[in-house]
Structure 1
């Protein structure tokens, strides 16, 4: 954040601090279960959005007659579009964008409570306050936490799903399990089937989804490891590999795998989130780094091998059905978790130390397990 933005944010914080001090409304009861309308904010990444779904499910169970409105980032809204536990979906266009239109939609919901499950942008607590909800819950660590009526402290030792459930527990909401979820539409399944057919994948052919990329370069599995994995997977199991990723990874995927004899199907940047989820449902397994596709695999019960380097899998590796996921963590002399965008340690050991052989073995072991009930 540059000095100008920092100044504007501090000025905004002081303005709303003054507004809050002048607000004489008494805080509501800490128990949310009498609410008739609740807004939940879930405006961050793919994994964060999916890790919020157990909390949304718990809210619906605790408030069967209430109207639940979810506010989701425009790029990830499809993850909640068909969620059976919400009544309305409001698109968050981005930090301080289209605020008046968004403000009107939130006020129209006439919320009794606004709950910020996860929202990094500084206008999220402001929007929760301006929604008119008498009760507002979020984390004390937010710079705007004074706009909340209930703001517990984050226990950073807990997995992210657990943190959201604990926030709701403070409001009297019992949990309904830690499994994440997503509903895939029939249209998305048909689109995925057409895309695979266009890529020459037979309808009966066993395929494995592979995502060696990540939100930052330090999470990527090195090219050599990935190439060896694809080669061995094809030769030893006969299964075909489908490489997933965003538009930004397309050129890298072509460079990594384009000249291989065992060339995989590369679909980077070609599918939205729901179509990607539908494709994962078609796969025998998913091999992925700590990334959005990993969380999609968990939510869809796809057997998943997750490769972790900079981050601790105990925080992120949650939401899956027991027996459906294996976690492999690389070895490194570094302190973790590490938030660096690019690794500055020679050889990128935390990811490079995860060899292709153990990954393939883990996948085969996972597929050999009995299907959990």
Structure 2
């Protein structure tokens, strides 16, 4: 069993672990334990036999006693599965306890403080800076598993592609599409909506059809961005993650904050321009050499990992012209290649 809790992007960047495990152990029953919000990231993964879900969001709606009983019951259910091997890629106290509770003969996890005591196969962490994809794969390397692929996987279904193309057919015919994803899990990671609006207007005036992307709980941000823009823009309907990925697959470029949609866009093969500030693009940036990132280079507090910041200078002071320049450079590269995408 692979354990990776929390965000969509975190889980997606762990999918190469599943693929490499399957190539090494073709007959194994591979389970991926994630949270409900990330289930759809894994639902179409051909290298998994099962997706298990830890319903963390439900716990907050229970009384403390009921929450504790629910968690104990969940740990007992894990124990009853009699896993041979568990790989904890998340490494927080809760996931470490889950790994320990399985009683698996091989419990693999990273050398994080007291949590290391929950594992009997501890993966050294020597402080080397590496992307999260590489960090996850280090656990497999420690186990002697050959790394054949490093690319995150987000398979798209035929139905999701049909749904995406049906909706996109309402856009101006032949116009290349740019997606804007203005949201993000932390407030501090979000470039201001007023900046996204100016960027969208500048791209729209150059002939691009601007699609506004949003996920659960983010519709109001999409509407506000649309209202702030002076040029036409199209807000996507409420869709699941797979259809969101299929829409982004049709874009020439997706401009996004550090977020799950940014990583999904990269995984489906669309060029990405990631906007970074409190997170480190070298560690959490869009995976692959074709993608670009922008950040306020003059600041010395970048990569602080603060979820809330009173000043948030890394976002508020990042100039639209700087982002636009990189976006146009990337679009010229796409249009000069054989990867140009338009809706006929």
TM-score, structure 1 as length reference: 0.79
Corresponding position of 1:315: 283
Report the alpha carbon displacement of residue 212 of structure 1 after superposing the two structures with TM. Answer: 2.2
**CA separation in 2, counterparts of 1:88 and 1:139?**
24
1:326 and 1:362 in contact (8 A); partners too: no
Offset, 1:233:
0.9
Q: Match for 2:103 among 125, 132, 139? A: 132
Q: Report the equivalent of 1:29.
A: none
- The size of the alignment, in residue pairs, is 327
Between the aligned partners of 1:297 and 1:184, the Cα distance in structure 2 is: 12
C-alpha change, 1:85 and 1:347, in structure 2 (3 Å) is: closer
CA RMSD of aligned residues (A): 2.5
Shift of 1:334: 3.3
Secondary structure of residue in 2 paired with 1:179:
coil
Say if 1:286 and 1:297, in contact at 8 Å, map to a contact too.
yes
Equivalences for 1:263-282 in 2 at 5 Å?
263-267=232-236, 270-282=238-250
- Secondary structure of 2:30's counterpart equals strand
Deviation (angstroms), 1:119? 5.1
Q: CA deviation at 1:315?
A: 0.6
Pairing 1:211-290 to 2, within 5 Å after superposition: 211-236=181-206, 238-258=207-227, 260-267=229-236, 270-290=238-258
- Once the two structures are overlaid, the 10-residue window that deviates more, 98-107 or 219-228, is 98-107
Q: State the secondary structure of the residue aligned to 2:162.
A: helix
1:87 matched to 2:49? yes
Counterpart of 2:155 in 1: which secondary structure?
coil
Deviation of 1:205 (Å): 4.4
Q: Partners in 1 of 2:84 and 2:270 — Cα distance?
A: 38
**1:201 corresponds to 2:171:** yes
Structure 2 CA distance for partners of 1:203 and 1:100, relative to 1, 3 Å: farther
Q: Deviation of residue 350 (structure 1)? A: 6.6
Structure 1 counterpart SS, 2:273:
strand
Deviations 1:44-78 (A, max 9, x none): 21111011011111111111221111112111011
Contact 2:187 2:308 survives alignment (8 Å) = yes
> What is the match of residue 339 of structure 1?
305
| 1:91–1:351 distance in 2 versus 1, CA, 3 Å | farther
The whole-number CA distance in structure 2 between the counterparts of 1:258 and 1:350 is 20
Alpha-carbon distance change, 310 to 353 in structure 1, aligned in 2, over 3 angstroms? farther
- Residues 1-373 of structure 1: matches in 2 within 5 Å? 39-94=1-56, 98-99=70-71, 102-103=74-75, 106-107=78-79, 109-118=81-90, 120=92, 122-141=93-112, 143-156=114-127, 157-197=129-169, 200-201=170-171, 205-236=175-206, 238-258=207-227, 260-267=229-236, 270-320=238-288, 322-323=289-290, 325-345=291-311, 348=314, 352-353=318-319, 355=321, 356-370=323-337
Cα gap change, 1:129/1:248 in structure 2, threshold over 3 Å: closer, same or farther? same
Cα deviation for residue 316 of structure 1 reads 1.1
Looking at structure 2, the residues matched to 346 and 87 of structure 1 have their Cα atoms a distance apart, in angstroms, of 43
Q: CA deviation digits over 1:227-271, x for unaligned, max 9?
A: 2211111111x1211111234432233223315331311237x22
CA distance in 2, matches of 1:335, 1:124: 30
Offset at residue 83 of structure 1 (A): 0.7
**8 A contact 1:307–1:354 mirrored in 2:** no
Deviation per CA, 1:323-349: give whole Å up to 9, x if none: 3x1122223433221222333337556
Q: Cα 1:129–1:226, aligned 2, differ >3 Å: closer, same or farther?
A: same
**Secondary structure at 1:164 match in 2:** helix
Q: Which runs of 5+ in 2 are unaligned?
A: 60-66, 340-344
Instruction: State the structure with more CA Rg.
Output: 1
